[in-house]
């Protein structure tokens, strides 16, 4: 069973984004940055085959990418995988950002921090593949929020 998230020591999303940006700023060349991305991708545990389902697959990204989310005490536990090393690395960074956060906070996550890593010229919001990934993640968080609202409503009407 996963350990409970220590909320007091948890950084804000923007602080974690800054950490990631600094991590990449230290690397001078694009090749070094890519090597680091590949290491991040390699370190992300492979999603088990049974979880690589149609439902977990992001629609609209040309690479195949899956997200599997569970919630413990209202906080997201996220696993991800992709057949593309760069997309897998970006997914790993997303996992880093959202892990242990409530769904309402996950809705604030975007990929603008990627633009500050000085690797790609195309802004992440103009990249349909990345937009699909973040859209998928937000949909998971939104569904959880809706689910919670219904449960709370049920609790009120139950005699």
Partner 1 sequence: MSPLSYRTLFIGTAPAGLIGLDELLRELYQAGVTPDATDLDDKLIAGIKRNNFVPRSAHKDYALALRSEFTTYHNALKQGKTPQPRNYGTWEGHPREHIPWFPAIAEELCNGCGACIEVCPKNVFKKTADNKVIVVDPFDCIVGCCFCKSPCLPKAIMMPDRTMLDNYRHQQGMR
20 binds partner 1, rule: CB under 8 A: no
User: Please, which residues have CB within 8 angstroms of residue 58's CB and are 6 or more apart in sequence?
Assistant: 65, 66, 67, 132, 133, 136
Q: Is 15 in the site for partner 1 (CB under 8 A)?
A: no
Q: What angle (nearest 5°) sits at the alpha carbon of residue 12, between those of residues 70 and 108?
A: 60
Parallel, antiparallel or unpaired: strands 75-82 and 65-72: antiparallel
Q: Which residue's CB is nearer to partner 1, number 44 or number 76?
A: 44
Residues 80-119 that bind partner 1 (CB under 8 A): 83-87, 119
- Cβ 149 to partner 1, closest distance in Å? 34
Does residue 57 belong to the site contacting partner 1 (CB under 8 A)?
A: no
Task: List binders of partner 1 among 31-50 (CB under 8 A).
Answer: 31, 34, 38
Instruction: Please answer whether residues 43 and 92 qualify as being in contact, where contact means their C-beta atoms are separated by less than 8 angstroms.
Output: yes
Question: Segment contacting partner 1 (CB under 8 A): 14-22, 68-76, 103-111, 128-136?
Answer: 128-136
Alpha-carbon separation of residue 109 from 19, 67, 121 (angstroms): 15, 15, 21
Instruction: Give the C-alpha separation, 127 to 148, whole Å.
Output: 32
By CB under 8 A, is residue 126 in contact with partner 1?
yes
- Shortest Cβ 159–partner 1 spacing (Å): 52
Contact set with partner 1 (CB under 8 A):
30-31, 34, 38, 61-63, 83-87, 119-122, 126-130
């Amino acid at each position: 069973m996963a350990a409970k998230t220590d909320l007091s020591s948890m950084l804000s999303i923007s602080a974690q984004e800054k950490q990631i940006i600094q991590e990449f700023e230290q690397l001078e060349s694009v090749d070094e940055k890519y090597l680091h991305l590949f290491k991040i991708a390699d370190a992300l545990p492979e999603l088990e085959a049974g979880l690589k389902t149609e439902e977990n697959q992001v629609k609209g990204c040309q690479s195949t990418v899956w997200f599997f989310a569970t919630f413990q005490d209202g906080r997201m536990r996220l696993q991800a995988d992709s057949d593309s090393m760069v997309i897998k690395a970006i997914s790993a960074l997303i996992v880093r950002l959202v892990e242990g956060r409530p769904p309402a906070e996950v809705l604030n996550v975007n990929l603008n921090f990627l633009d500050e890593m000085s690797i790609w010229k195309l802004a992440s919001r103009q990249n349909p593949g990345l937009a699909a990934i973040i859209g998928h993640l937000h949909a998971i968080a939104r569904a959880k929020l809706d689910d919670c609202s219904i449960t709370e409503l049920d609790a009120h009407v139950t005699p």
